[in-house]
């Protein structure tokens, strides 16, 4: 925290520093796991996928470590004000990051099933979507470490891009399945993968809200949900989020700016 001076009790500062380090490490592992899982899925690398499943235990162990340390700090230091907000945020972040790790593991588990089925075109969107999600996690952890509420707010906004990726993939995959029943198995798996990534984006958003509160003491304004796949029946080719205001900055590579891509093979 950007304070001019630390606590009178130095070991309190050390405890907080250690908690921050654990959370950052969890975030870093989550980024690696998501990218690697999607890579294993696309490249049909079963060995890599199995390694990712095993590596999830490291994130789980760190969560336990973060939780034990946060509980210890609360018990010993009785933190208040920004300290209290930060410790509580860290406790919740550890839990959410563990969940994100589980989603990455789940994606890796699907790599085997996808590798056994016929390759389908829309899979190429998944790495782009994963990059957008990993970028959110990276930035939200930077916001946490740097106490940057403004950066946290931009992460929340960017979740809409991830939702748009998901909506686009959802439509493409549904079209595929309607065209050819052989595509149903790989499409369903990819749909779950996309949903996992979309959920990771939501979790990154909720971490951003925690960071914003920890830094400022103010709650971030409520965000509207961008996943409109539930409204799919109403309009199969609706352009995602047309009534939402445009976001600042350039969208990630592969972002479905217009109508969802038509498959030609």
Q: Does the protein bind another protein through residue 75 (CB under 8 A)?
A: no
What is the full DSSP assignment across 19-79?
HHHHHHHHHHHHHHHHHHHHHHHHHT-HHHHHHHHHHHHHHHHHHHHHHHHHHHHHHHH--
Q: Which of 3, 47, 243, 265 binds another protein (CB under 8 A)?
A: 3
- Window 114 to 133, contacts with another protein (CB under 8 A): none
* Measured distance CA(181)–CA(174) in Å, rounded: 11
Tell me which stretch binds another protein (CB under 8 A): 3-11, 123-131, 161-169, 171-179: 3-11
- Window 14 to 73, contacts with another protein (CB under 8 A): none
Question: How many residues of this chain bind another protein (CB under 8 A)?
Answer: 18
Q: Which is nearer to another protein, 31 or 83 (CB)?
A: 83
Count how many Cα atoms sit within 13 Å of the Cα of residue 115 in the half-sphere of its side chain: 18
Beta carbon of residue 72, minimum distance to another protein (angstroms, whole number): 16
The secondary element (H helix, E strand) that includes residue 199 is helix 184-216
Q: Residues 6 or more apart from 251 whose CB is under 8 A from it?
A: 161, 257
Beta carbon of residue 5, minimum distance to another protein (angstroms, whole number): 6
* Residue found by looking up tokens 């957008």 in the block: 132
Q: Which of 81, 221, 230, 233 binds another protein (CB under 8 A)?
A: 81
Q: Which of 30, 53, 69, 85 binds another protein (CB under 8 A)?
A: 85
* Measured distance CA(87)–CA(160) in Å, rounded: 28
The secondary element (H helix, E strand) that includes residue 129 is helix 125-146
Q: Which is nearer to another protein, 1 or 48 (CB)?
A: 1
Q: Which of 56, 63, 83, 163 binds another protein (CB under 8 A)?
A: 83
Query: Encoding tokens for residue 16?
Result: 């907080």
Q: Does the protein bind another protein through residue 8 (CB under 8 A)?
A: yes
Q: Does the protein bind another protein through residue 92 (CB under 8 A)?
A: no
Q: Does the protein bind another protein through residue 221 (CB under 8 A)?
A: no
Q: Residues 6 or more apart from 222 whose CB is under 8 A from it?
A: none
Tell me which stretch binds another protein (CB under 8 A): 58-66, 75-83, 171-179, 202-210: 75-83
Q: Which is nearer to another protein, 7 or 20 (CB)?
A: 7
Q: Residues 6 or more apart from 169 whose CB is under 8 A from it?
A: 122, 125, 126, 129, 190, 191, 194
List residues binding another protein (CB under 8 A): 3, 5-9, 12, 77-85, 217-218
């Amino acid at each position: 925290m950007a304070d001019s001076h630390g606590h009178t009790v130095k070991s309190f500062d050390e405890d907080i520093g250690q908690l921050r380090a654990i959370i950052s490490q969890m975030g870093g592992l989550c980024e690696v796991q998501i990218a690697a899982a999607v890579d294993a899925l696309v490249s049909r690398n079963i060995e890599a996928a199995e390694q990712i499943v095993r590596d999830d235990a490291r994130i789980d162990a760190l969560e336990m470590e973060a939780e034990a340390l946060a509980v210890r700090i609360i018990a010993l230091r009785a933190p208040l004000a920004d300290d209290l907000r930060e410790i509580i945020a860290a406790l919740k972040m550890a839990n959410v990051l563990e969940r994100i790790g589980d989603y990455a593991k789940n994606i890796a588990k699907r790599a085997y099933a996808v590798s056994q089925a016929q390759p389908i075109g829309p899979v190429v969107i998944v790495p782009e979507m994963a990059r957008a999600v990993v970028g959110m996690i990276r930035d939200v952890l930077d916001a946490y470490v740097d106490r940057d509420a403004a950066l946290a707010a931009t992460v929340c906004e960017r979740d809409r891009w991830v939702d748009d990726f998901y909506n686009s993939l959802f439509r493409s995959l549904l079209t595929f399945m309607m065209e050819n029943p052989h595509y149903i198995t790989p499409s369903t798996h990819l749909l779950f993968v996309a949903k996992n990534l979309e959920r990771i984006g939501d979790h990154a958003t909720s971490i951003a809200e925690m960071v914003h509160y920890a830094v400022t003491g103010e709650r971030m304004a409520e965000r509207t949900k961008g996943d409109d796949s539930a409204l799919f029946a109403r309009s199969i080719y609706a352009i995602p989020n047309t009534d939402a205001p445009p976001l600042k900055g350039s969208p990630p590579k592969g972002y479905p700016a217009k109508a969802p891509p038509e498959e030609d093979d």
